[in-house]
Amino acid sequence: MPSPPSHDEIEVSIFGPGYGESIVIHTLDDNWLIVDSCINPNSGRNIPLDYLESLGVNVASNIRLVVASHWHDDHVRDLSSVVKKCKAAKFACSIALTQSEFTSLIYGYGKGVMTEKLKSGVSELYEIFEYFRDPEDDDERDVSSVIYALENSVLWSGSSEKGTTYRIHALSPSNYSFSQTLMDIAEILPQDKTPIRRVDPTIADINHLAVVLRVEIGDFNILLGSDMGSPSGETRYGWVAVLGLNSGPPAQVFKIPHHGSARSDNPNVWSQMLIENPHAVCTTYNRGKVGLPCPTDIERIKNYTDNAYITSTKKLGSSLNNSAVEKTIRESNIQLTTPFYSVGQIRFRCNYSDSDNLDVSFFSDASRL
C-alpha cells in the first residue's frame, strides 16, 4: 500500500489513463482537493477515490473541495460518485454552460429521469445537482454547498495548524465568457408565439468556459490549465484574459492545458505565470485517430522546459488497421473489447518549508517527455 504524505508535506498527483484526467492535492494537515474525475479502464473504478483510499485517506471527512473544471466527458467521468462520497467537501464548477450543455440539462430535468439524450458530461452535472437537491440522510450539505467559479474568485482558503496559508483561486471563465453564454442561451429560449428552438446536440463545447486554477500553499504554487484555449487575437477570454488577472507568484508545477494541443498554447503563460523550467505535466488523449500530444506538441513543450512529463506513452486499445472492416463493425452495432493499459500517475511531494526540494515520482506508464 502506498504511503500517504505527512501532515506538513504537500502532494500533487496527476492521473491520466489515456482518456480522462484527474488531479488530487494535499494542502497539509490531511486536507485534500480533487479536480476532475476519471475511470480506470481496466477495473472500471474511480481513479482519484481509489488512490486516496489506498493512502488511508478518509474521503468522507478529509476532502474539502471537489472541482469540475468543465463538463467534457474526459474530465468528469463518475464525478458524481466523488461528490457523493466526499461528504465534507464543497463542490465548485464553472458558472457558465454552453448552449448544448444547457439544453441537455433542461431536457433531463424536464423528463425527470436520466436519458441517453443527455450528454455524458452533462449527465454528471445533472446527477450532482439532483443529489444536492435531495442529499442522503447522513449528508448535511445542500445546494448552498455548490460554488460557482468565475474569474478572480477564491473557491477555498485557510491555514494549516502551523500557520501556512493556502488558497484555491479561479482565474476563469472570464466575465465576458459568462455574459456571452447567457446571451447564447437567451437566443434559444422561446419568444412569444414561437416554438422552442432546438440546438444541435453535436455543437462542440467551448474550452474558454473551463476553470483554470491557481493553487497557493505557502510559497508553493500550482497552475492547473484545464482545457483552456488560446484563440488567436482574442483578449476577452482564453489565456489572454487569464494573463490579465496574473498577479500571483509564478507556479512551480503546471498541468498543461488540453493534453498539450497547439490551440491551447500561449507562450506568455510560460514566461509570465511559471518559474523558469517548471515541472509541467501533459495528460494523454488517445481517443480517435489522432492522439494528443502529437510529436510537434511534444517538441514545443520540451522547448519551454527541461522538466516535462507525460502520464502515459501507450495508446488506448488497438486498431484493426482496416477501415472497411471497422465501418462494417460500427454499422452492425458490434462493440469490440480492446486491451487497456495501467493508469499513469505523476506525483510531486515537498515539505511546505522547503518547496524548492521537490520530489518527482512516476507510476505505471508515466515518464519524462
Closest CA to 219 of 251, 254, 171, 256: 251
The DSSP-derived string for 218-240 is TTEEEEE-TT----TT--SSSHH
- Statement: the pTM of the whole predicted model exceeds 0.85: yes
Q: How far apart are the first and last CA of the chain?
A: 27
**Domain limits of the chain?**
9-190+198-368
Q: pLDDT tens-digit profile of 6-59?
A: 999 999 999 999 899 999 999 999 999 999 999 998 889 999 999 999 999 999
Count CB atoms within 10 A of the CB of residue 56: 12
Please report, in tens digits, the pLDDT of each residue of the chain (369 residues total). Answer: 789 999 999 999 999 998 999 999 999 999 999 999 999 988 899 999 999 999 999 999 999 999 999 999 999 999 999 999 999 999 999 999 887 788 777 777 665 554 455 567 888 998 999 999 999 999 999 999 999 999 999 999 999 999 999 999 999 999 999 998 888 787 777 666 565 554 443 333 468 899 999 999 999 999 999 999 998 888 999 999 999 987 889 999 999 999 999 999 999 999 999 999 999 999 999 887 778 999 999 999 999 999 999 998 765 554 444 455 445 545 555 554 444 556 899 999 999 999 899 999 999 989 999
Q: Does domain 9-190+198-368 have CATH number 3.60.15.10?
A: yes
Beta bridge partners of 292: 285
